[in-house]
Structure 1
Amino acid sequence: MSRGAAAALSAALLLLALAGCSSAENNMAKTDQDSQKDQAAVRVDEQPGTVYYEIFVRSFYDSNGDGIGDLNGVTEKLSYLKELGIGGIWLMPVNPSPSYHGYDVTDYYGINKDYGTLDDLNKLTEAAHKLGIKVIMDLVVNHTSKEHPWFKEAIGNPDSKYRNWYRIEAADAQVPADGAVGGNPWHPYGSVKYLADFWEGMPDLNFDEPAVRSEIIKIGKYWLQQGVDGFRLDAAKHIYGDFASTINTDEVKASNRKWWQEFRSGIAGAKKDAFLIGEVWDSSVIIAPYLDNALDSAFNFDLAKKLLSGADREQNPDIAFSLGRIYDMYSKASNGKFVDAPFLTNHDQNRTMSELDGNVDHAKMAASLLLTLPGNPFIYYGEEIGMAGMKPDEAIREPMPWYASGTGTGQTTWEALLYNTTPKTVSVEAQQTDPDSLLSHYKKLIAWRNELPALRDGGIAELSTGNPAVAAYVRAANQEQVLVVHNLSAAEQTVDLTESGKASGIAFSEIARASKDGAKLDGGKLKLPAFSTVILQ
Structure 2
Amino acid sequence: MKETDKLPDKPLSVWPLGITYEIFVQSFYDSNGDRIGDFNGLTQKLDYLADLGVEAVWLMPIMPSPSYHKYDVTNYIEVHEDYGTLQEFKNFVEKAHERDIKVIIDLVINHTGIGHPWFVKARQKDPIYRDYYIWSDLDSVAEQINKKEVTGDSDNILQWHALDEDPEGEHYYGFFWGGMPDLNFDNPKVREEIYQIGKYWLSEIDVDGFRLDAAKHIYPEERATDNHNFWKEFRSEMQQVKEDVYLIGEVWAPTEVSAPFTQGLPALFNFDLAYSIIGSLKNERSVSAVIAGSSWELEEGVTLIEGLIRNEAAFRRQNPDFINATFLSNHDQNRIGSMLGGHQEKIKIAASILFTLPGSPYIYYGEEIGMLGQKPDPYIREPFLWDIKKEDSGRTTWQRPSYSTDTTLMPLQQQKKDDNSIYAHYKKLIALRRNSEILTLGDISEIVTESMGLLAYRRSYHNESLLVIHNLTDTAITYPVEGNSYEVIMSAPETIKLDKDGVVIPGYASIVVK
Taking structure 2 as the reference length, the TM-score comes to 0.89
Q: Which residue of the partner structure matches residue 153 of structure 2? A: 180
Is 1:311–1:363's contact at 8 Å kept on the other side of the alignment?
A: no
The structural deviation recorded for 1:184 is: 2.3
Aligned mate of 1:530, from 484, 493, 507:
507
Distance in 2 of aligned mates of 1:418 and 1:61: 18
Matched, 1:229 2:208: yes
- Secondary structure of the structure 1 residue equivalent to 2:494: coil
Q: Which residue of the partner structure matches residue 122 of structure 2? A: 154
Judging by fraction of residues, say which structure has more strand.
2
Question: Which shifted more, 188-197 or 106-115?
Answer: 188-197
For 1:18-51, what per-residue CA distance to the aligned partner results, in whole angstroms no more than 9, with x for missing partners? xxxxxxxxxxxxxxxxxxxxxxxxxxxx996111
Q: Which residue of the partner structure matches residue 272 of structure 1? A: 243
Structure 2 counterparts to residues 205-354 of structure 1, below 5 A: 205-225=183-203, 226-241=205-220, 247=221, 249=222, 252-292=223-263, 294-317=264-287, 318-334=303-319, 336-354=320-338
Distance in 2 of aligned mates of 1:365 and 1:50: 20
Is 1:364–1:438's contact at 8 Å kept on the other side of the alignment?
A: yes
For 1:401, the aligned partner's letter is L
The structural deviation recorded for 1:424 is: 7.6
Matched, 1:169 2:153: no
Is 2:152–2:219's contact at 8 Å kept on the other side of the alignment?
A: no
Structure 2 counterparts to residues 43-442 of structure 1, below 5 A: 49-157=17-125, 159-173=126-140, 174-175=143-144, 176-177=149-150, 180=153, 184-189=158-163, 190=166, 191-225=169-203, 226-241=205-220, 247=221, 249=222, 252-292=223-263, 294-317=264-287, 318-334=303-319, 336-405=320-389, 408-422=392-406, 425-442=409-426
Matched, 1:496 2:480: yes
Matched, 1:509 2:477: no
The structural deviation recorded for 1:529 is: 2.5
Distance in 2 of aligned mates of 1:378 and 1:406: 31
Instruction: Structure 2: give runs of 5+ residues left out of the alignment.
Output: 1-13, 288-302
**Aligned CA distance change for structure 1 residues 195 and 407 (closer, same or farther; 3 Å):** farther
Is 2:453–2:473's contact at 8 Å kept on the other side of the alignment?
A: yes
Is 1:425–1:431's contact at 8 Å kept on the other side of the alignment?
A: no
Q: Which residue of the partner structure matches residue 25 of structure 1? A: none
Is 2:173–2:182's contact at 8 Å kept on the other side of the alignment?
A: yes
For 2:512, the aligned partner's letter is I
- Secondary structure of the structure 2 residue equivalent to 1:443: helix
Distance in 1 of aligned mates of 2:16 and 2:31: 34
For 1:320-361, what per-residue CA distance to the aligned partner results, in whole angstroms no more than 9, with x for missing partners? 222222221111101x11110111111111111111111111
In angstroms, what is the RMSD of aligned CA positions? Answer: 1.8
**Aligned CA distance change for structure 1 residues 508 and 238 (closer, same or farther; 3 Å):** farther
For 1:220, the aligned partner's letter is G
Q: Which residue of the partner structure matches residue 8 of structure 2? A: none
The structural deviation recorded for 1:491 is: 1.9
**Aligned CA distance change for structure 1 residues 423 and 82 (closer, same or farther; 3 Å):** farther
Is 1:276–1:297's contact at 8 Å kept on the other side of the alignment?
A: yes
The structural deviation recorded for 1:408 is: 2.2
Structure 2 counterparts to residues 446-461 of structure 1, below 5 A: 446-461=430-445
**Aligned CA distance change for structure 1 residues 524 and 178 (closer, same or farther; 3 Å):** farther
Is 1:153–1:163's contact at 8 Å kept on the other side of the alignment?
A: yes
Is 1:177–1:184's contact at 8 Å kept on the other side of the alignment?
A: no
The one of the two structures with greater contact order (alpha-carbon pairs below 8 A, sep at least 6) is 1
Distance in 1 of aligned mates of 2:21 and 2:394: 19
**Aligned CA distance change for structure 1 residues 60 and 479 (closer, same or farther; 3 Å):** farther
Is 2:484–2:500's contact at 8 Å kept on the other side of the alignment?
A: no
Taking structure 1 as the reference length, the TM-score comes to 0.85
- Secondary structure of the structure 1 residue equivalent to 2:326: coil
The structural deviation recorded for 1:497 is: 3.5
The structural deviation recorded for 1:392 is: 0.7
For 1:70, the aligned partner's letter is D
Instruction: Structure 1: give runs of 5+ residues left out of the alignment.
Output: 1-45, 242-246, 499-505
Is 1:405–1:424's contact at 8 Å kept on the other side of the alignment?
A: no
Distance in 2 of aligned mates of 1:425 and 1:187: 42
Distance in 1 of aligned mates of 2:239 and 2:318: 20
For 1:170, the aligned partner's letter is D
Is 2:481–2:500's contact at 8 Å kept on the other side of the alignment?
A: no
Distance in 1 of aligned mates of 2:402 and 2:434: 35
Distance in 2 of aligned mates of 1:160 and 1:149: 14
Is 1:371–1:449's contact at 8 Å kept on the other side of the alignment?
A: yes
Distance in 1 of aligned mates of 2:492 and 2:100: 26
Question: Which shifted more, 463-472 or 231-240?
Answer: 463-472
For 1:364-389, what per-residue CA distance to the aligned partner results, in whole angstroms no more than 9, with x for missing partners? 11111111111111111111111111
- Secondary structure of the structure 2 residue equivalent to 1:535: strand
**Aligned CA distance change for structure 1 residues 479 and 229 (closer, same or farther; 3 Å):** farther
**Aligned CA distance change for structure 1 residues 332 and 508 (closer, same or farther; 3 Å):** farther
**Aligned CA distance change for structure 1 residues 369 and 56 (closer, same or farther; 3 Å):** same
- Secondary structure of the structure 2 residue equivalent to 1:363: helix
The structural deviation recorded for 1:479 is: 6.8
For 1:123, the aligned partner's letter is N
Is 2:368–2:423's contact at 8 Å kept on the other side of the alignment?
A: yes
Identity over the aligned pairs, expressed in percent?
Answer: 45
The structural deviation recorded for 1:489 is: 1.9
- Secondary structure of the structure 1 residue equivalent to 2:360: coil
Distance in 2 of aligned mates of 1:314 and 1:406: 39
- Secondary structure of the structure 2 residue equivalent to 1:340: strand
Aligned mate of 1:463, from 419, 434, 447:
447
Question: Which shifted more, 374-383 or 507-516?
Answer: 507-516
- Secondary structure of the structure 1 residue equivalent to 2:286: coil
Question: Which shifted more, 318-327 or 342-351?
Answer: 318-327
For 1:230, the aligned partner's letter is G
- Secondary structure of the structure 1 residue equivalent to 2:486: coil
